[in-house]
């Protein structure tokens, strides 16, 4: 009996020693097994996930080897996934992206607790949770410049205020002028974000402020900054190029306004039924806001020199998705319609009195020709663009390429189909220079503004020849689509080939060659010099390196 007790004690002691030895061994770096990793940090992005939004988990470890394998298990409420192997990204980090609602993963909704565990060899080495929240993107309440009208050579402080329900990660700025860009992160101090910049030339700068929140949502605000040279003046108020509304539900509309100014437009607002609404800048001289639907409104625009436009306008309101064509009927069309009515009445009277069929058929043939002429006149009016507002049909965004300053070149149409380039464009490209095509008509306020802007900034001379640094480097073609113009057919061909939606003027198209392929860029509406120079510089670089 004693012997059995001794044997049992020895056996128990052996088991304890073996267990202790196994535990110590698993913590060591030597031997066939890897050591238990030390979790330095675990991050999930976004920190405040939206419902059914993907979440990326990043684990940083110490004390790991090439054989270390980590697993991640996620639970949404009481529903848990099977542990999944994380991807080792560096010598110290692992990563895995969880996407709710796919591959058997449970979906997430507002208010869900999403808990997660990091596993190593079946043991939990880290655990935490995040709460899913449906929330709005950040709000940028103000963007100001100090000073408001800086002189070239001095620095400018950009100041912005922003807020978010669940916290803002960062505010970034991006600045562009004449094809040159600058960007950076703004500093946070005492409730405001700020950054100091040194403008690189006089002129109009487009400043884009972007706020990102803890749900990875972003909101951007665009504002113009004008940097003056010494003794610079501007006595002219802003000019309204085009304004129209697009119907929205609940009796509202999205108001689009395109303005031009020699310096920069600092503020635009409209009055509808006694209430003022501020317009947000969304492009070089492009502004928009959601306002009650109306056909008349007052508009106030102020430029950098405090010159003010203050007028009341009648505007057109379109249904969303409706293609806009020229609404005007030419005098020729009206005359043809009147003549058609007279001829039709006379033919009926003549047939009743004479009953001569061959005369009636002859008159019908004449009527058919007149109807064809009327259709042709209407088509010409629509094709050449019309007078939606101040002589400019274009909405400044009809081109197939994006209207940002980041130049995007196309080889094919966005749907993947091939482009049938006119032969005369291909022949010009054979000269070894990019081709710039400018399509305009008379009258066209937007065309006049773009032409003057190109002349002012030295892209072309007053007589329409390419000039300045682009002389000898760019082929420049001007096409007038005004009825009766010799270049009308070529201009209409360009409009139909390189723009989508309703066609109009001004339209600018640039062509270049790269690796034996024709690339093109197109934009309908006014293209200002800072965007155009970026396009031309890129076209030359693509062709010649």
Tens-digit pLDDT profile for residues 8-54: 444 444 444 444 433 332 222 333 345 678 899 999 999 999 999 99
Amino acid 379: pLDDT = 44
What is the per-residue pLDDT for 326?
A: 38
- Architecture of the 239-318 domain: Sandwich (2.60)
**Confidence band for 239, pLDDT divided at 50, 70 and 90:** confident
What is the pLDDT at residue 343?
67
Mean pLDDT of 260-285: 87
Q: 């079946």: which residue's tokens?
A: 122
| Whether residue 230 has pLDDT greater than 90 | no
pLDDT of residue 211: 93
Q: What is the pTM of this model?
A: 0.54
Handedness of CA 347, 353, 357, 358 (dihedral sign): negative
| Region of poorest pLDDT, from 125-129, 402-406, 441-445 | 402-406
For residue 166, pLDDT over 60 is answered with yes
Q: Which CATH superfamily is domain 423-544 in?
A: Glutaredoxin (3.40.30.10)
Please tell me the predicted confidence (pLDDT) of residue 32: 38
Residue 434 pLDDT: 96
Above 60 in pLDDT, residue 246? yes
Residue found under tokens 């505010």: 171
Q: Which uninterrupted H or E stretch holds 381?
A: helix 357-383
Q: Tell me, what's the pLDDT at 84?
A: 94
CATH topology of domain 139-227: Immunoglobulin-like (2.60.40)
In this prediction, residues 97-115 reach a mean pLDDT of 92
pLDDT tens string 175-188: 988 778 889 999 99
Spell out the residues 6+ positions from residue 378 whose beta carbon is closer than 8 angstroms to its own: 329, 333
Q: What are the start-end ranges of the E strands in 432-543? A: 435-440, 475-480, 507-514, 517-524
HEC per residue, 258-309: EEECCCCEEEEEEEECCEEEECEECCCCEEEEEEECCCEEEEEEEECCCCEE
Tokens of 410: 């196309």
Stretch among 87-101, 380-394, 456-470 having the lowest mean pLDDT: 380-394
Q: What is the pLDDT of residue 328?
A: 41
Top-level CATH class of 38-125? mainly beta
pLDDT at 404 (0 to 100) = 34
Q: Hey, what are 38's tokens?
A: 């030390």
Residue pLDDT, tens place only, 311-360: 998 888 887 544 333 334 445 556 666 666 676 666 666 666 666 666 66
Q: What is the pLDDT of residue 68?
A: 87
- Window from 51-60, 372-381, 433-442 with minimum mean pLDDT: 372-381
- CA 122, CA 72: separation in Å to the nearest integer? 10
């Amino acid at each position: 009996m004693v012997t059995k007790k001794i044997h049992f004690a020895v056996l128990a002691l052996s088991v304890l020693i073996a267990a202790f030895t196994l535990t110590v061994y698993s913590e060591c770096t030597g031997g066939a097994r890897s050591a238990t990793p030390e979790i330095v940090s675990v991050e999930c992005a976004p920190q405040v996930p939206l419902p059914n939004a993907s979440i990326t988990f990043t684990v940083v470890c110490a004390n790991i080897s090439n054989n270390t394998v980590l697993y991640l298990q996620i639970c949404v409420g009481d529903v848990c996934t099977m542990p999944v192997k994380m991807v080792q990204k560096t010598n110290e980090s692992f990563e895995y992206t969880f996407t709710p609602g796919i591959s058997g993963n449970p979906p997430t909704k507002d208010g869900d607790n999403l808990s997660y565990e990091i596993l190593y060899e079946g043991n939990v080495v880290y655990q935490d949770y995040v709460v899913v929240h449906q929330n709005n993107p950040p709000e940028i309440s103000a963007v100001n410049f100090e000073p408001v009208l800086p002189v070239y050579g001095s620095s400018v402080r950009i100041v912005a205020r922003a807020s978010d329900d669940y916290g803002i990660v960062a505010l970034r700025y991006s600045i562009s002028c004449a094809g040159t860009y600058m960007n950076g992160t703004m500093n946070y101090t005492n409730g405001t974000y700020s950054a100091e910049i040194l403008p690189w030339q006089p002129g109009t700068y487009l400043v884009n402020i972007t706020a990102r929140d803890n749900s990875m949502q972003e909101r951007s605000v665009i504002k113009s900054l004008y940097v003056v040279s010494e003794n610079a003046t501007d006595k002219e108020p802003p000019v309204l190029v085009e304004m129209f509304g697009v119907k929205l539900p609940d009796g509202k509309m999205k108001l689009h306004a395109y303005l031009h100014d020699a310096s920069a437009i600092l503020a635009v607002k409209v009055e509808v039924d006694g209430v003022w609404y501020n317009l947000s800048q969304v492009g070089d001289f492009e502004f928009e806001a959601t306002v009650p639907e109306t056909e008349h409104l007052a508009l106030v625009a102020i430029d950098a020199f405090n010159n003010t436009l203050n007028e009341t306008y009648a505007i057109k309101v379109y249904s969303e998705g409706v293609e806009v064509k020229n609404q005007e009927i030419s005098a020729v069309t009206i005359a043809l319609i009147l003549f058609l009515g007279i001829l039709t009445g006379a033919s009926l009277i003549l047939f009743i009195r004479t009953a001569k069929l061959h005369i009636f058929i002859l008159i019908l043939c004449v009527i058919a020709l007149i109807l064809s002429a009327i259709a042709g006149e209407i088509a010409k009016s629509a094709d050449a663009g019309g007078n939606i507002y101040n002589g400019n049909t274009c909405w400044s965004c009809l081109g197939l390429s994006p209207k940002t300053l980041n130049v995007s070149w196309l080889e094919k149409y966005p749907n993947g189909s091939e482009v049938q380039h006119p032969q005369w464009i291909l022949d010009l490209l054979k000269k070894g220079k990019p081709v710039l095509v400018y399509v305009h008509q008379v009258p066209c306020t937007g065309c006049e503004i773009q032409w003057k802007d190109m002349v002012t900034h030295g892209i072309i001379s007053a007589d329409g020849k390419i000039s300045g640094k682009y002389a000898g480097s760019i082929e420049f073609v001007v096409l007038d689509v005004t009825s009766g113009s010799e270049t009308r057919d070529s201009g209409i061909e360009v409009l139909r080939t390189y723009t989508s939606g309703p066609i109009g003027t001004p339209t600018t198209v640039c062509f270049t060659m790269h690796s034996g392929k024709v690339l093109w860029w197109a934009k309908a509406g006014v293209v200002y010099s800072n965007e155009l120079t970026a396009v031309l510089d890129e076209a030359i670089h693509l062709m010649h390196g």
